Structure 1
Amino acid sequence: MRILAEADPAEHLDVLVIGAGISGISAGHALQTRCPDKSYAILEAREALGGTWDLFRYPGLRSDSDLYTFGFSFRPWTEDRSIADAASILAYLRETAAAFGIDRKIRYRQRVVSAAWSTPEARWTVAVEVGPERRRLTYTCAFLYVCAGYYDYEAGYRPDWPGLERFGGRLVHPQAWPEDLDHAGQRVVVIGSGATAVTLVPEMAKTAAHVTMLQRSPTYIVALPAKDHIANWMRRRLPAALAHRLARWKNIALSLAFYQFARRQPEMMTRKILGGIRGQLGPDYDVGRHFTPRYKPWDQRLCLAPDGDLFKAIRQGRASVETGQIAHFTETGLQLASGTHLPADIVVTATGLQVRMMGGVQISVDGRTPDPAQSYLYRGMMLSDVPNLALAIGYTNASWTLKCELTAGFVCRLLRRMDATGSAWCVPRRGEAAGEEPLIGFTSGYIERARHLMPKQGASRPWKLYQNYVLDLAALRYGRLDDGALTFGGRREKTRAA
């Protein structure tokens, strides 16, 4: 991987983007096409683009959203499988970045440590560590765009179970998958029931002696075809751009309808999901114990089993599910509170990720250090009382990319508005906005553990997140900027002179 030449100290850019994953690539494309006069660079802490799709290497890694919506609107997904593996997604991201010249804007091995805003100068001063030696480098920029997601990419979450040190087998976390791990012919226990576990179990079961998915409580799992036959039919018969647009909107509509039905008719949705699982596993399987959650659909994110691969592995006896509490580890496996002992050569702790807001970047505004957890998020992207800064946070109930593209477009609207009015900064002011709700309403463990780190949302627009693409499309692409919360100020001429 080529590393771009490092910047001179205090190089100034109109926009500085942090992160070269899906959100960063989307930001780069929007800036190039909608604000072509703006200078920008993308700072990436790692040595390759792709974010999650380059970092994670565990077996079977794939999307849990269709690539017609998880992919970019400006570059059609053309492969047969709409639920794609990580290698295909990463290749798609690299090809997209190269096709639009976005890769030439990425500066690798540059980790942003802090960013300080000065209102008199109307600019951010950004401190960066370069390479493994952590050489210090400084940038300034007029607008800071954080596209680092909200996960901690340095370490995942693993509980401290009793007797962990006694286990004589291999213990691995999916976020740090060892290259030398060979699970062929091994007895594997995967702890967890979320998307990572649902992905790992059927893939490892192809060659392992047996794989057990050990869960404290079940998760809703839906089996869907890995190929979108309607989209493929349209691709064969319609112009590529039109077929992509129709497939994208079809899946957006289905996703919205599925989510709204689940929230308004949770009991009926539960019956349909469990009915599908019984159809996969047969009438004698204990679906009530192993696949019936205690919560309602979409209180946590649903998991996807492409072509029912998890259920197929269970039917064939290559995998099984065990529901119960871990009492302690033993030398040869795990002892459950029920008295059951699970023998294991390899234990995979698919116990979740940890949240790290803004990629760990420490920000200050005129010498004050705002606490993101005490801030409110304007339109799902800007911290209250923090000027010229946006965050790319995707949907939790739909494809991440859909919201990130809307955010990138809105940032460009702000930049053009400031140019037109000669304003040097824009800042959302909470004012009299009412209500205080969690940013993400999920009850998932990784969200509950991070409540104290996350911004909040209000009870109404523009501080309320509706998790609805159609509403956001109308508001972010066509809605008024003078909404009573967003304030513009400063003079561009003074900024340039400074």
Structure 2
Amino acid sequence: MNQQVNDFDVLIVGAGISGIGMAAHMREKAPGHSFAIVERRDNLGGTWDLFRYPGIRSDSDMHTLGFDFEPWKHEKSIADGPAILEYLDRIVDERDIRRHIRFGQKVVAADWHESDARWHVTLETSEGEKKHVSANWLYLGSGYYDYDEPYDPGFDFGEFDGQVIHPQFWPKDLDYAGKNVVVIGSGATAVTIVPSMSDKAAKVTMLQRTPTWMFSRPAKDAFANTLRKILPEKLAYRITRWKNITLQDISFKRARTRPEKVADFLHTKIRKIMGKDFDLTPFTPPYNPWDQRLCLVPDDDLFAAIKKGKADVVTGHIKAFEKGGVRLSDDRFLPADIVVTATGLKLAVAGKIALSKDGAPINLADHFYYKGCMFSNVPNLAVVFGYLNASWTLRADINSDYICRVLNHQKATGTDVAVPVLPTDHKLEEDDIFDFSSGYIQRGKHIMSKNAVAYPWRLNQEYVIDRKRMKADPVDDGILGLYQHGANAREPEEQLEAAE
């Protein structure tokens, strides 16, 4: 192992939206601190560089999936992957962040040393070489799913003689012209792929076990584009962003209090496109809207493909994969030259990094979230896990801003350790970490950190409240222990007691 140690104030893991956002916030709000970004891939972008399936796009509007500090300037607010990568590239270059990114380096382990208040991090290069760096803070912008292994529902493809593809590993230059395609799944990925492939394929069938609530809206935000013509760019962006945040918050809460009204609204929009006699059964889930995330249908593209006869939605259970297609349990046969398994992602915590403290393993599932950003009794470690009911970047922004506040407070007070202190006899009442029934959420709950009923020991799903508290509450709140390492060799809890 290369034992050369490079020291940083903050080591950011991942050069996707979360990592780039933290770097940009540090450049603006904590410029006196050094940082580096380590990215396992050869390009920045994270999800937007990894996924290359047809039609790859955002399922949130870019006025909220974009950063609070950088306006989204494209006409379309529902953006494709290349446009999002262009946005991230521009931010990285304009803010002189690119030279701080170390590509082709994967973080495999990080051990906190109390003696020097640093994370000692083991990296593995794409050539298999091991390197060692250290940092006072570790900021995890590594996303929420397993980059190496998608969810495997355990299909037996038996006699099927066509191609089987998972969207996470889409082959370059796949030829599907004139072919029958069956896309298994009903989530955002399937709803994107089906209309995108329908232009060249003979027929694309979305095979779903359970329907999903669909929300149709224009890809272009007319309000945003009008504002941009009459107001300064940043002001127009800020107004549009807040409008979208407010409307999303209202619609989510409405779905929880009056789900039947929201269901009627969603169905009315579909019937407006497809006709009043259209059978809504394939678009009527057995659960309420926002019990799972709504699927966005920009510019009615899925419904347009169905009207043209180029796409179809079938609800059923798979009996077997046979030569030439898929047999369902009711004996229907779906012809297929290509099967796309858009069956979901596999959750991963902390980028699957082996975390430890002075050699003792840290299992984040044993710790409580603190402000949706840090973890109980784990020092100088921050993470981004975005909102399920809103855009990912909303949490990335407020977490980045908060950690910058902590860094500046530490510098001003001469402290180098920040740890959310939770006594062993805390008596916190636990809450469901995610009140969502989505398969990938339910499958991954056992690896997620704990969630308390009361703030700050939770991962909230209310951005407006979180934003106010993260900005207004003092850093030194009586819970976050702030101290200089080695000071009288006392534990964080003891130092807090001494300070009171």
Bin for the TM-score computed over the shorter chain: over 0.9
- 1:438 and 1:451 in contact (8 A); partners too: no
Q: 2:141 maps to what in 1?
A: 147
Give yes or no for the alignment of 1:479 onto 2:469: no
CA distance in 2, matches of 1:141, 1:250: 39
CA-CA distance at 1:493 after TM superposition:
9.0
Q: 1:185 maps to what in 2?
A: 178
Q: 1:127 maps to what in 2?
A: 122
Give yes or no for the alignment of 1:275 onto 2:264: no
Distance 1:266 1:245, change over 3 A: same
SS of equivalent residue, structure 2 residue 444: coil
Q: 1:84 maps to what in 2?
A: 79
CA distance in 1, matches of 2:289, 2:155: 29
Q: 2:365 maps to what in 1?
A: 373
The one-letter amino acid paired with 2:469 is A
CA-CA distance at 1:242 after TM superposition:
1.1
Q: Which of 415, 420, 437 is the equivalent residue of 2:431?
A: 437
State the TM-score, normalized to the length of structure 1.
0.95
- Return 470-479 or 43-52, whichever deviates more: 470-479
1:15-414 equivalent positions in 2, closer than 5 A = 15-131=10-126, 133-162=127-156, 164-287=157-280, 289-414=281-406
CA-CA distance at 1:367 after TM superposition:
2.4
Q: Unaligned stretches of 5+ in structure 2?
A: 490-500
CA-CA distance at 1:285 after TM superposition:
2.5
CA-CA distance at 1:494 after TM superposition:
10
- Return 240-249 or 210-219, whichever deviates more: 240-249
CA-CA distance at 1:180 after TM superposition:
3.2
CA-CA distance at 1:35 after TM superposition:
1.2
CA-CA distance at 1:423 after TM superposition:
1.6
Q: Which of 7, 10, 23 is the equivalent residue of 2:5?
A: 10
- Return 465-474 or 484-493, whichever deviates more: 484-493
The one-letter amino acid paired with 2:83 is S
- Return 300-309 or 367-376, whichever deviates more: 367-376
1:342-376 deviations in whole A, cap 9, x for unaligned? Answer: 11011100001111111111100122212111211
- Return 465-474 or 183-192, whichever deviates more: 465-474
- 2:136 and 2:380 in contact (8 A); partners too: yes
CA-CA distance at 1:330 after TM superposition:
0.4
Distance 1:66 1:103, change over 3 A: same
- 1:424 and 1:492 in contact (8 A); partners too: no
CA-CA distance at 1:244 after TM superposition:
1.1
- 1:332 and 1:344 in contact (8 A); partners too: yes
- Return 226-235 or 459-468, whichever deviates more: 459-468
- Return 269-278 or 103-112, whichever deviates more: 269-278
CA distance in 2, matches of 1:350, 1:105: 35
Moved over 4 A (4+): 491-495
Q: 1:3 maps to what in 2?
A: none
Q: Which of 432, 447, 455 is the equivalent residue of 1:461?
A: 455
SS of equivalent residue, structure 1 residue 438: coil
SS of equivalent residue, structure 1 residue 241: helix
CA distance in 1, matches of 2:382, 2:427: 20
CA-CA distance at 1:328 after TM superposition:
0.9
SS of equivalent residue, structure 2 residue 361: coil
CA distance in 1, matches of 2:313, 2:276: 16
The one-letter amino acid paired with 1:187 is N
The one-letter amino acid paired with 2:383 is L
1:147-204 deviations in whole A, cap 9, x for unaligned? Answer: 0011111121232224x13110111000000113111110010000000000000111
SS of equivalent residue, structure 2 residue 334: strand
The one-letter amino acid paired with 1:479 is D
CA distance in 2, matches of 1:379, 1:277: 39
- 1:422 and 1:491 in contact (8 A); partners too: no
1:269-302 deviations in whole A, cap 9, x for unaligned? Answer: 1111122222222233321x20111111111111
The one-letter amino acid paired with 2:237 is H
Q: 1:4 maps to what in 2?
A: none
SS of equivalent residue, structure 1 residue 387: coil
Q: Unaligned stretches of 5+ in structure 1?
A: 1-6
- 2:158 and 2:320 in contact (8 A); partners too: no
Q: 1:448 maps to what in 2?
A: 442
RMSD: 1.7
Distance 1:37 1:493, change over 3 A: farther
In the comparison of the two structures, how many residue pairs are matched?
A: 487
CA-CA distance at 1:8 after TM superposition:
7.7
The one-letter amino acid paired with 2:170 is W
**Among the aligned pairs, what percent are the same residue?**
47
CA distance in 1, matches of 2:237, 2:32: 29
- 2:476 and 2:482 in contact (8 A); partners too: no
CA distance in 1, matches of 2:483, 2:355: 20
CA-CA distance at 1:439 after TM superposition:
2.5
CA distance in 2, matches of 1:494, 1:188: 67
1:1-51 deviations in whole A, cap 9, x for unaligned? Answer: xxxxxx981111111000000001110011111111111100000000000
SS of equivalent residue, structure 1 residue 305: strand
1:73-92 deviations in whole A, cap 9, x for unaligned? Answer: 21111111000111111111
- 1:81 and 1:227 in contact (8 A); partners too: yes
CA distance in 2, matches of 1:147, 1:494: 34
- 1:422 and 1:492 in contact (8 A); partners too: no
CA distance in 2, matches of 1:161, 1:92: 38
CA distance in 2, matches of 1:295, 1:456: 25
CA-CA distance at 1:492 after TM superposition:
8.5
CA-CA distance at 1:332 after TM superposition:
1.0
CA distance in 2, matches of 1:419, 1:491: 14
Distance 1:437 1:421, change over 3 A: same
CA distance in 1, matches of 2:63, 2:86: 15
- 2:116 and 2:485 in contact (8 A); partners too: no
CA distance in 2, matches of 1:481, 1:361: 27
CA-CA distance at 1:481 after TM superposition:
2.4
The one-letter amino acid paired with 2:448 is M
CA distance in 2, matches of 1:386, 1:235: 44
CA distance in 2, matches of 1:446, 1:465: 17
